[in-house]
A and B are shown apart, each in its own frame.
Chain A
Amino acid sequence: VTGAGNERPRRRTQEERRASTRAALLDATIECLVQYGYGGMTMRGVVERAGLSRGAQVHHFATKAILVTDAIARLADNWSAEMLARIEAQPPARRSVPALLDALWEGHSGPLFEAVVELWVAGRTDPELRAALLTTQRKLVRTVNATTRRYLAEVTEADNLQPAVETVLATLQGLALRSFLFGDDTAARQRAWSRVRGELIVLFNRAV
């Protein structure tokens, strides 16, 4: 979401129009990925969904791989920021490892994660896509790592949290995959999460 429209109406600059066209294309890319999968999505479908002319896309992105790679990068940034914001919104006393885990789980509960899985699967035959995905995953591990350090009083520089963070993320993502089965049944999703959540909290404690 850009800041356009916050103030009294005025003509948008060239720069602003460019940025909002770009954002619209990237958002439409993710939506198309979720709906049709990587193999089934087309540049044409993306442009139509974004409500743009075909020329707009060619101007911004030359190939499907570049479009998708940029969409993932934007997705990952928004995703991390959103998860962090969820914790920061809590009062300081509530900012803890369990709260971090809940925020991570929520972050994995929407259609965004389904798009991410589409990409992982598509990445097996597309080196460019694969490289973008690995960067994204490493970034997520780093973000979680840094945030965890902030909420664990007893952790020191010497403690290596990386393995625990990876275990937690893999488990969380595996559980999110399983949740595809639950569709819109949020109660079933929460039940599945509450059982695994306890294991992960103890696991984190052992790591420090």
Chain B
Amino acid sequence: MSRLGGIVPATMPIRPDSHRADTLRRREALLAAAVEVVAERGVAGATHREIARRAGLPTSTTSYFFGSLDELVLEALRLFTEQTVAALDDARAALAAESKQPIELLDGLLDLLLAAPTQLTVAQFEAYLEISRRPELAGEVKRVLTAFERLAQDALRAAGAHDPAAGAKAVVALLDGFALHRIAWPHRRNQRQIIRDALLDLVLVQLMAPDERARRAAALGA
């Protein structure tokens, strides 16, 4: 059996176009279904049968397109991170196109985070956790984090932060930390307000003049 190994032979139209388009669609449906299953049941809970069922295809389809379940899951996580990076870069482009107040930028960041369905957040964390088991995912996760940081960095620069690069790392860490809590605590009261206040606190630190920051740090024995 020839393994397609995740690469669709797009440059070799050995079959009619409509057939090829259909093949592509089925492959994509499987990958999208795999992302859903991973988000719902975790990587450990993903099976050929469940992924195919979700995609509305016979179970055998999965082994036609992917050499193994591992390969399918990895490919799905890759697709997921790719889409996330694209969404973050879109948000960044939109941010550059409009001139907004710093506070509006922050609210925009927050909206982006809270609008993500919990399931997508879970897929993101499954990817984090899979790094220790599949080191090849590290690069993908890094791309997501970098895209997120670029966005935060632009927002902080526009707000007048003293060191947007360092500040962006802190902001992304803060939002990731709250995203983690949100998975297990989705209906926390005043969730948005709590995260927004925390974000504002962190950004205000960023806006202080260097000597003011030094004075405050020294007061705590740093």
Question: Are A and B a genuine interacting pair, yes or no?
Answer: yes
Q: Are B177 and A171 in contact (CB under 8 A)?
A: yes
Nearest Cβ on chain B to A151's Cβ, whole angstroms: 9
Instruction: Name the B residues within 8 Å of A177 (CB-CB).
Output: 125, 128, 173, 176-177, 180
Check if A186 is an interface residue, CB within 8 A of chain B. no
Across the two chains, which residue of chain A brings its CB closest to B215? A205
Check if B61 is an interface residue, CB within 8 A of chain A. no
Check if B183 is an interface residue, CB within 8 A of chain A. yes
Instruction: Name the B residues within 8 Å of A175 (CB-CB).
Output: 169, 173, 177
Nearest Cβ on chain B to A65's Cβ, whole angstroms: 14
Known: A120-B181, A163-B197. A205 touches B176 (CB 8 A): no
* A201-B216 Cα distance, complex, nearest whole Å: 8
Q: Identify which of residues 76-93 in chain A touch chain B, using a CB-to-CB cut-off of 8 Å.
A: none
Instruction: Name the A residues within 8 Å of B42 (CB-CB).
Output: 37-39, 121-122
* A152-B222 Cα distance, complex, nearest whole Å: 13
Question: Of the candidates A38, A134, A167, which one forms a contact with B174 in the assembled complex, judged by CB atoms under 8 Å apart?
Answer: A167
Question: On chain A, which size bracket covers the interface?
Answer: 35 or more
Q: Identify which of residues 77-135 in chain B touch chain A, using a CB-to-CB cut-off of 8 Å.
A: 118, 122, 125-126, 128-129, 131-132, 135
* A207-B205 Cα distance, complex, nearest whole Å: 11
Q: Are B194 and A196 in contact (CB under 8 A)?
A: no
Instruction: Name the B residues within 8 Å of A173 (CB-CB).
Output: 173, 176-177, 180
Number of residues on chain B facing chain A (CB within 8 A): 53
* A134-B182 Cα distance, complex, nearest whole Å: 11
Question: Of the candidates A38, A40, A130, A178, which one forms a contact with B176 in the assembled complex, judged by CB atoms under 8 Å apart?
Answer: A178
Q: Identify which of residues 50-81 in chain B touch chain A, using a CB-to-CB cut-off of 8 Å.
A: none
Q: Are B43 and A170 in contact (CB under 8 A)?
A: no
Q: Are B173 and A205 in contact (CB under 8 A)?
A: no
* A62-B172 Cα distance, complex, nearest whole Å: 40
Instruction: Name the A residues within 8 Å of B178 (CB-CB).
Output: 170, 174
Interface pick from B6-14, B15-23, B137-145 = B137-145
Q: Are A202 and B44 in contact (CB under 8 A)?
A: no
One digit per residue, 1 when the CB lies within 8 angstroms of any chain A CB and 0 when it does not, for chain B 191-222 equals 00010011001101110100001001101111
Listed from nearest, the 10 A-B pairs whose CB atoms lie closest are A39-B44, A170-B177, A174-B173, A174-B177, A174-B176, A96-B221, A123-B184, A40-B44, A205-B216, A167-B198
Residues of B within 8 A of A (CB): 40-45, 118, 122, 125-126, 128-129, 131-132, 135, 138, 141-142, 145, 166-167, 169-170, 172-181, 183-186, 194, 197-198, 201-202, 204-206, 208, 213, 216-217, 219-222
26 contacts between A and B (CB under 8 A): A36-B44, A117-B129, A120-B184, A121-B42, A123-B184, A152-B220, A163-B194, A166-B194, A167-B201, A167-B202, A171-B170, A171-B174, A174-B174, A174-B175, A174-B179, A177-B125, A177-B128, A178-B145, A195-B166, A196-B166, A196-B169, A201-B216, A202-B205, A203-B205, A205-B216, A206-B201
